[in-house]
Amino acid sequence: MQEIGHWINGKMVSGTSGRFTDVMNPATGEVQARVALATVAELDHAVAEAAKAQIKWGATNPQRRARVMMAFGALINQNMEKLAEMVAREHGKTIPDARGDVQRGLEVIEVCMGAPAFLKGEMTDNAGPGIDIYSMRQALGVVAGITPFNFPAMIPLWKMGPALACGNAMILKPSERTPSTAIFLAQLLQQAGLPDGVLQVVNGDKGVVDAILDNETVQGVGFVGSTPIAQYIYGRAAANGKRAQCFGGAKNHMIIMPDADMDKAADALIGAGFGAAGERCMAISVAVPVGDKTADALIERLVPRIEKLKVGPYTAGEDVDFGPVITQASKDRINGLIASGVEQGAKLVVDGRGIKIQGYENGFFCGPSLFDNVTRDMDIYKQEIFGPVLSQVRAKSYEDALNLVIDNEYGNGTAIFTADGDTARDFASRVNVGMVGINFPIPVPLSYYTFGGWKKSAFGDLNQYGPDAFRFYTKTKTVTARWFSGIKDGASLNFKAMD
């Protein structure tokens, strides 16, 4: 049985706690490795070593740090298939979807190749008589990234790229369910020229998370996961004087207006609702057609598309649409929520429970499910299902649909499908959600913008990647300098008032 340890000071080290957790193969339901869970002492040692390495790395000029990012990007491209297979094996994604996971992370690294442009300060010369004022951006020191299972490559790359490009050292705590990709990325960074100790990968559970939050050397924490944990990490980090950007759960709605192209809307919902088995914080889990005629037309198009979806392991070929969910517990929770939807009066149009894949009967597979006539008070509407379940909530009018989104406690992403520009502009202006799609179902911004939700989907003032990341991972120092005149003419013994 493979045992996965930690990446400390540029090499793999075994854990010393004697505690492990299983790394499953979601497609087979079998244990494929064991990952060590670090002690507080191991975490503190990793932080102390990172702090030593950060001094020289932070003093390295931004252009040289950017060259490491350039080499890192090239190595990611060279190892794309290996990374995709690694992601698929531990998470269960299809290979095309796993490539996308890596690619969207790589795009952030590509932006980090231009980090010197983001790290420039400001200057005002002659702000007063002989006085110049200038500011500079400096690294925080040691920062931490706590990343989720559903994007084993993308989210670690979103965290480590900007943090390292800014001159910080990073402690990366990946999900213990999908640990291998983060360690391989650390190895690639070493090949790219990152000094040992600047990136430490420490595997662990809540004990390690709390140790990160309580360690005085760690100056900032980035997290992606569920809302309760995001709120917990944000609160504890803030109480300990750390910067924190914590991204939580979602319940993303897509409004379908009567004038929308129904076929395009249906295709968008299939991809956004069922891709990656619904294990995306930007998945569309709620379709909101305006008017019964629109709702009926949408159901008519969704059902045959859902019935054609191919569910299976990533090894079954690139025509598989989505694979298993991450654990048996996740599968049981999804099936339980589907059952609650039926009990509470929703119409289960397509039932994905009970799916069996020949040869993979013990895998954590959930077939695609579709509900109609879902209402606000139902558990399947109120909770983030994080599985291949699409709920249709019928709205009587555009205002009803808009208010459904506005009233929801989450505000990660939303979308509207319409042929009317005025409706689209009104929606984009009024909706209280951080990322908005217009005839675009999963509005994840490109890497030179910035990613972040509103309401209970995000805690903290600055978003992930893009310009906000460089603000988050640096602190501003402002210098006021005065250069006395008269030296070139000799000393003056008379008191001179300021002009």
Which residues lie closer than 8 Å to 465 by C-beta, 6 or more apart? Answer: 108, 111, 158, 161, 162, 447, 450, 451
> Is 246 a catalytic site residue?
no
Written as one string, the DSSP assignment of 109-140 is: HHHHTTHHHHT---EEEEEETTEEEEEEEEE-
Pair of tokens at residue 289: 């057609």
> For the chain, how many residues are written?
499
As to burial, measured by CB atoms within 10 angstroms (0-12 exposed, 13-18 middle, 19+ buried), residue 133 is middle
C-alpha to C-alpha distance for 461 and 51, rounded to whole angstroms: 25
Spatial separation of the C-alpha atoms in residues 248 and 454, rounded to whole Å: 10
Query: Among residues 112, 166, 281, 366, which one is catalytic?
Result: 281
Strand-pairing partners, residue 16, are none
Residue located via tokens 């695609």: 368
Cα separation of 248 and 288, whole Å?
A: 23
First to last CA, the chain: 78
Q: Kindly give the interhelix angle for 180-192 and 80-91, rounded to the nearest 10 degrees.
A: 160
- DSSP track, 294-343: HHHHHHHHHHHHHHT--B--GGG-TT--B---S-HHHHHHHHHHHHHHHH
Strand ranges of the sheet holding 131-139, from the earlier edge strand across to the other edge: 123-128, 131-139, 474-482
Q: Could you give the 3-state DSSP secondary structure of residue 481?
A: strand
Q: Which residue, chain included where needed, has tokens 């309580």?
A: 214
DSSP code of residue 27: T
Q: Residue 324: exposed, middle, or buried by beta-carbon count in 10 A (0-12, 13-18, 19+)?
A: buried
List the one residue out of 54, 452, 409 whose CA is nearest residue 222: 452
Which residues are catalytic, by number?
281
